[in-house]
Structure 1
Amino acid sequence: MKPFSRKAEKKVRMNMAELKTFFVYELEDTGERKELSLSEKALIQYLNPEQVLVLVREDLRRIFIWKGAKSAVKKRFISSRVARDVQQELMKNSLYHRCKIVSVDQGDEVQEFLDAFNLESMDVKERLADVRYVRNSEKEEIKEKKRFPEEKEFRINEYITLKLIKGQTEIFIDEKPFHQCKYLLLNLTQKDFNKFDHIDSIDEAFEMYNKMDKNHERDHDLIDPESEFIGHCSNLQVWYENDYDLRILHSSLSIPLLKKMAFLGDKKAIIRLKESIATRIMSRNYNTIIFYLNEKYLKLFSNEELEVMFDEWLEKNVDFAFME
């Protein structure tokens, strides 16, 4: 291998000297992140109970999500997404490494976080009421006894609940397990979500999604189970708050979810599911119609609605002939 020239070697040394290895981002109530200009020694002044910070130690290849004991739930949910954004931004620079994301709770800080910033665990007298934790000391005891931590859960609405069980995120509908591929949950930032504004079909959305950088699927082993759980909760919460927008989740996940909730009486789910089915039946895809018939989706429609829908379908498919 040809050795560096003195000029090239000097340039590499200058780049390494200028390389920033410590970043701090503060999460605001709006969901935006703001970079703070402070040293590692001054960090302790910003670790207050209502704060959520994303801390980058590139030299240790770690991104720490520090969550104050009384920080807002919204900030906690957003934090994992922000940390992944920071992770990907760093990786675009050839001088930086891929950093592992580590979740840190005030008062129950992981040892590598304390060592990284030469800190001691903080005494927390009051915690957020609606979030349950398993302390590090309890985790060690559980590991020795081959037991799993107490489950953590987050309720989206009266029908959908997500639970963290044995390190895995599980979806429950009406308190019953919903077995479907969770990685079809799109992990979208607000910037990504705006890209879907001009798209009306689920298939178009999934085609665009396939072209996007889906690092949450490829690199989910770099995210600890708690951060992954929070990410899934956040995505389903966005889906619910946007009236079950069919552009946010792929149809193989959103349609079965809507079907479950529709038959449980969720009016919003019934409306959205009917819209989706009607749109798809208007297409010339006979297999789609057969699928909806076999899966009993059409039971959601009144006889009058079915009559109108199929009359319109026949008008658009004049070459259709019933089999004898």
Structure 2
Amino acid sequence: MVNNNNYGPDSIEFKLNISMYHIYLLFLWFLLCILGLFIMSIITDLHIILIILIVLFIIVTLIHPISMHLERRSYLRGINKDKEEPDKIFKINKIVELRLIQNRTYIYINNKKFIQCMYLLMNIPKNNVDDYDEIKSIDDAAEVLDNSLELYQYREIVQSIDPETEFVGHCSNIQVFFENNLDANLLHSNIAFPLLKELVKVGYKPAYFKLREEVVRRFNEGNDNVKLFLQLGGYLEYLKKEDLECLKGTIFGLKYPYY
């Protein structure tokens, strides 16, 4: 299903509604001023007049954010249903599936949105995984690309990929990841490790040992960016004592535990 809802913050209708709110507030302020003048004409106590003016000011000040909040709620109610309606669904297994929503690919775990696949670095064919043995990991491929003169050309290629083709590529990569025993080399670390951690949380048994194994292996063999990601992301906390003793890698020349 394609979402044809064009009512958004940049739409003419939305801006007109906001303008009407502003006109309404000015009119209300005008009425309150008249009311204030009328009250002051019949009340001579300056303290009471001051209190009334303060109350009127507070009322006007509160009405504006309340009205904007109501408008925002109305806007969100109008789009939330269509926004979450997937155009395509690809089921990996009983708990993991990918959904194409508003031209963006999301990973769902147990029917809950988990993470968005930001961009497609490379598409790994299911039957040709061994052809990519020279590249140790997707992170290494990304680092090589970042340091190459082909980066700008690559960005142009990525921008030219339509959302449905990109969705198919993400589905293929996630499926290859599961078919190859949750090999974290096959996905970028900012997807592979959060995905493994979430699988552990939901009780996916194959992920328990694999997360510890992949953290140790990538910490010892991966590049410094991946090691820093694992450290700052708290992934070393999932390791047992015997796992920590196996850590031989360093981050920018510093050996864990850095003291």
* TM-score, length of structure 2 as denominator length: 0.51
Q: Out of 176, 194, 197, which is 2:112 matched to?
A: 176
Say whether 1:161 aligns with 2:89: no
Task: Look up the match of 2:244.
Answer: 310
In structure 2, list runs of 5 or more residues that go unmatched.
Answer: 8-78
Q: Distance in 2 between matches of 1:163 and 1:169?
A: 6
Q: Out of 175, 191, 194, which is 2:130 matched to?
A: 194
The equivalences for 1:11-30 within 5 A come to: none
Say whether 1:252 aligns with 2:186: no
Do the aligned partners of 1:185 and 1:235 also contact (CA within 8 Å) in 2? no
Structure with greater Cα Rg: 2
Letter of the 1:307 partner, please give it: K
State the secondary structure of the residue aligned to 2:100. Answer: strand
Q: Distance in 2 between matches of 1:238 and 1:161?
A: 13
Q: Out of 170, 183, 186, which is 1:232 matched to?
A: 170
Q: Distance in 2 between matches of 1:238 and 1:287?
A: 24
Cα 1:284/1:221, change in 2 over 3 Å: closer
Q: Distance in 1 between matches of 2:176 and 2:91?
A: 13
State the secondary structure of the residue aligned to 1:188. Answer: coil
State the secondary structure of the residue aligned to 2:99. Answer: strand
Q: More deviation in 250-259 or 306-315?
A: 306-315
CA deviation after TM superposition for structure 1 residue 191, in Å: 8.4
State the secondary structure of the residue aligned to 1:274. Answer: helix
The equivalences for 1:1-324 within 5 A come to: 134=1, 143=4, 150-151=85-86, 152-184=88-120, 186-189=122-125, 193-200=129-136, 203-207=139-143, 218-282=156-220, 292=230, 295-301=233-239, 306-313=240-247, 323=259
Letter of the 1:258 partner, please give it: L
Identity %: 34
CA deviation after TM superposition for structure 1 residue 183, in Å: 1.0
In structure 1, list runs of 5 or more residues that go unmatched.
Answer: 1-133
Q: Distance in 2 between matches of 1:247 and 1:187?
A: 13
Letter of the 1:300 partner, please give it: Y
Structure having the larger proportion of residues in strand: 1
State the secondary structure of the residue aligned to 2:187. Answer: coil
Do the aligned partners of 2:139 and 2:226 also contact (CA within 8 Å) in 1? no
1:283-323 deviation per Cα after TM superposition (whole angstroms, max 9, x unaligned): 7999977764654434534xxxx332333447999x98974
Do the aligned partners of 2:189 and 2:226 also contact (CA within 8 Å) in 1? no
1:27-51 deviation per Cα after TM superposition (whole angstroms, max 9, x unaligned): xxxxxxxxxxxxxxxxxxxxxxxxx
Q: More deviation in 183-192 or 228-237?
A: 183-192
Cα 1:272/1:315, change in 2 over 3 Å: closer
State the secondary structure of the residue aligned to 2:106. Answer: strand
Structure having the larger proportion of residues in helix: 2
What RMSD, in angstroms, separates the aligned Cα atoms of the two structures?
Answer: 4.5
